[in-house]
Chain A
Amino acid sequence: MTDIDSNVVEQTIRIAAKPETVWKYWTDPERMRDWWGAAELDPRPGGVCRIEREGGATMSGEYLELEPHDRLVFSFGWEPSDDAPAIAPGQSRVEVTLIEDAGDTILTVRHSGIPDAVAGIHAVGWSNHLPLLAAAVAKGA
């Protein structure tokens, strides 16, 4: 594993709904609003993916890859603001995979390339923080 790969947040959950339903929650603004925030979504490669959480940070990204109902990838950053963590638009990447299992969906989110946390951890040499990140990944797996 490279250093970048070790700085990943990954979570997997089972959803009692079909992948085609779950897919819409990542590509349809009405549904995106039900779980994340008011969204401007253009689900095609290079299309905008911008989500504004009420009272929170605004995620600014771009769809990179779409394989309907199976897998999608988008770039992930926050628009600079007082509330937003310092991950600039385009700096990190989120891969979502949907696998059908007995009518349910096994959904995995893999958020990689979390740049500033990585820079901070490496620059300061806090080796004791890497196991914490690994633990966060393991908890989601």
Chain B
Amino acid sequence: MDAALRAVADPTRRAILRLVRDGELAAGDIANHFPSMSRPAVSQHLRVLTDSGLVAVRPDGNRRMYRWRREGLRDAAAFLDEMWSDGLARLKAAAEREDRRKADNK
């Protein structure tokens, strides 16, 4: 989920996401949309997107086909939600322990 947040931080990767949102595309077709960028650079972006779970890839003969994974960003949105709920649960336990200790010492 950290990876998903990192993946969408880059404008090229967001552009790739828009391309594969509505249908599957081969790596070569995606690279053709970025004429100023080297193939290895595009491949690197595709790898970040697949590693993050935002994009799925499958082989089709000797081509690699990419498509958007709808569920990918849900993890990123949930990350902060979880971070806070886990943290606040620990804060609650610690603060309540402290006040109980004070009450016992009275």
Interchain nearest-CB distance for A2 vs B (Å):
18
B-side contacts of A1, CB under 8 Å = none
Contact check, B81 vs A140: say whether CB atoms are below 8 A apart. Answer: yes
Q: Give A40 to B69 CA distance when docked, in angstroms.
A: 39
Contact check, B99 vs A21: say whether CB atoms are below 8 A apart. Answer: yes
Interface secondary structure of B, over-half rule? helix
The tally of residues in B whose CB lies under 8 Å from a CB in A reads 36
A49 sits at the interface (CB 8 A): no
Find B74's partner among A9, A132, A139 (CB 8 Å cutoff).
Answer: A132
- A-B residue pair count with CB separations less than 8 angstroms: 120
| Interface size classification for chain A | 35 or more
Find B18's partner among A15, A117, A123, A140 (CB 8 Å cutoff).
Answer: A123
Interchain nearest-CB distance for A100 vs B (Å):
12
Q: Give A119 to B10 CA distance when docked, in angstroms.
A: 9
Cβ < 8 Å to B, chain A residues 95-141: 105, 107, 109, 111, 114, 116-117, 119-121, 123-126, 128-129, 132-133, 136, 139-140
Interchain nearest-CB distance for B86 vs A (Å):
9
A-side contacts of B99, CB under 8 Å = 16-18, 21
Contact check, B88 vs A34: say whether CB atoms are below 8 A apart. Answer: no
B-side contacts of A117, CB under 8 Å = 5, 8, 73, 76-77, 80
Q: Give A70 to B57 CA distance when docked, in angstroms.
A: 50
B-side contacts of A111, CB under 8 Å = 80, 84
Q: Give A105 to B21 CA distance when docked, in angstroms.
A: 45
Chain A contacts to B: CB under 8 angstroms: 9, 11, 13, 15-18, 21-22, 25, 31, 34-36, 57, 83-87, 105, 107, 109, 111, 114, 116-117, 119-121, 123-126, 128-129, 132-133, 136, 139-140
